[in-house]
């Protein structure tokens, strides 16, 4: 993401601009940040996950929404577009903006070179402020690797990593297990993997 040069904006001003814009931008601390385009592998991983989740949610209370669904982190004033949103209760929207969701159950981000550090640090801390959120899952696009940050009953957060194509991505907010082979179907990994820092929170 890159900041758009502008004066500090209010949330209302951001939404007015965003509704008319030809591309999506996130908003935080008075600034708009244009969202970068996604690679083919990023798109494949996201669509694989959506397909697997939708098939398991059929007939149940949960649903998925993709990166067109805007989410507001009220405690921090962040407006953002997660790659995948899971909603398991009746959706609640910001009173001033009926397109902005307030109560996601789970959020999934497919990591990219330009957003990985932000997704795994600043955004993680902000997502943890959402009262309804039960888990945040980060998915690498260049190797079979998923990280789950889950809210425990006492309010603390636990971390689990799922790696190798023979493994499974296990959700805690919904009774779903997805093989990593299905998550990465159609994705070709580079022969030489780029550097990867497994930061702990």
Q: Where are the domains of the chain?
A: 1-35, 39-183
CB 44 within 8 A of CB 50: no
pTM confidence score:
0.90
CB 147 within 8 A of CB 137: yes
Residue closest to 9 by CA, chosen among 27, 36, 34, 25: 27
pLDDT number for residue 200:
37
Could you tell me what percent of the chain has a pLDDT over 70? 92
Interval 97-142: pLDDT, tens? 788 999 999 999 999 888 888 899 989 999 999 999 999 999 999 9
Over range 68-91, report the average pLDDT: 92
Contacts for 175-182: CB closer than 8 Å, 24+ residues apart: 176/52, 176/53, 176/56, 178/49, 178/52, 178/53, 180/144, 180/146, 182/48, 182/52
Q: Hey, what CATH class is 39-183 in?
A: alpha beta
Over range 175-196, report the average pLDDT: 86
């Amino acid at each position: 993401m890159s900041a758009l040069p502008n004066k500090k904006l209010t949330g209302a001003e951001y939404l007015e601009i965003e509704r008319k814009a030809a591309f999506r931008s996130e908003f935080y601390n008075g600034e708009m940040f244009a969202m970068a385009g996604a690679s083919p592998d990023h798109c494949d991983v996201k669509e694989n996950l959506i397909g697997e989740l939708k098939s398991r949610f059929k007939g149940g209370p949960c649903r998925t929404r993709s990166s067109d669904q805007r989410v507001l982190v009220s405690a921090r004033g962040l407006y953002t577009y997660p790659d995948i949103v899971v909603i398991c209760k009746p959706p609640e929207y910001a009173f001033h903006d009926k397109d902005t969701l307030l109560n996601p159950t789970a959020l999934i981000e497919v990591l990219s070179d330009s957003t990985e550090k932000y997704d795994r640090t600043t955004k993680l801390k902000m997502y943890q402020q959402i009262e309804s959120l039960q888990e945040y899952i980060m998915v690498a696009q260049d190797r079979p690797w998923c990280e789950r940050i889950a809210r425990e009953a006492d309010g603390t957060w636990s971390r689990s990593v799922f790696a190798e194509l023979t493994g499974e991505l296990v959700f805690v907010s919904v009774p779903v297990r997805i093989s990593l082979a299905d998550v990465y179907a159609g994705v070709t990994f580079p022969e030489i993997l780029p550097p990867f820092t497994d930061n702990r929170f």
